[in-house]
Amino acid sequence: MPNKKDMPLTQEKPKKFTKDFLTGAIVSAIIAIIFSTSIYFYEIGTLNMDFESEKYNILSDTFSIPGLLFVLSYGLVVISNAGAFDMLNYAIGLAWTNVFHRNIRESKFAHSYAEYKEMKRAKDKKDNTFILYVGSVFLLVGVVFLILFYTSK
């Protein structure tokens, strides 16, 4: 009888909120806050919007634009991890290696695309869901202000 730890369905899942995850979430939140404040000051200063009369519109833009950028960035990371850009990465790496190395076989670059795919598959993938969480929170707050904008008129 196999050991319970060796069975694939009973393996422990790694902790979700590790130190790297929390650090990434804090950095992402700081970047989103910087985006939000820059959008706020752009709308107040450059577009000369009056905060008193258009506060929900300004706050909706302030939170939803960075939220949408982060959610879409996470989507790009997911499709990239799935291998959507592997052929392009291999082609650029191969061109780079051909330009700067006399013999491609002496370089550390993969000798074929299949070998490149195997090397990519063997690498551990980092957990980037903190981008999605931060983006979703900002997007949700932006949607709440958008609803308040349309109901306050």
In a domain, 4, yes or no: no
**pLDDT score, position 100:** 82
In a domain, 10, yes or no: no
In a domain, 3, yes or no: no
Residue 16 pLDDT > 60: yes
In a domain, 41, yes or no: yes
In a domain, 12, yes or no: no
| Helix, strand, coil percentages, rounded to 5, for the chain | 70, 0, 30
The band of 96, judged by pLDDT with boundaries at 50, 70 and 90, is: confident
The band of 32, judged by pLDDT with boundaries at 50, 70 and 90, is: very high
**Chain position carrying tokens 């780079």:** 96
**Other beta carbons less than 10 A from residue 46's beta carbon:** 8
Residue 146 pLDDT > 70: yes
In a domain, 5, yes or no: no
pLDDT in tens, 103-126: 766 777 887 888 888 888 888 888
**pLDDT score, position 52:** 84
In a domain, 25, yes or no: yes
Taking a C-beta distance cutoff of 8 angstroms, is the pair 64, 144 a contact?
no
pTM (two decimals)? 0.76
**pLDDT score, position 103:** 73
**Chain position carrying tokens 């957990």:** 127
Number of structural domains (the chain) is: 1
What domain range includes position 135? 19-151
**pLDDT score, position 106:** 72
The band of 30, judged by pLDDT with boundaries at 50, 70 and 90, is: very high
In a domain, 68, yes or no: yes
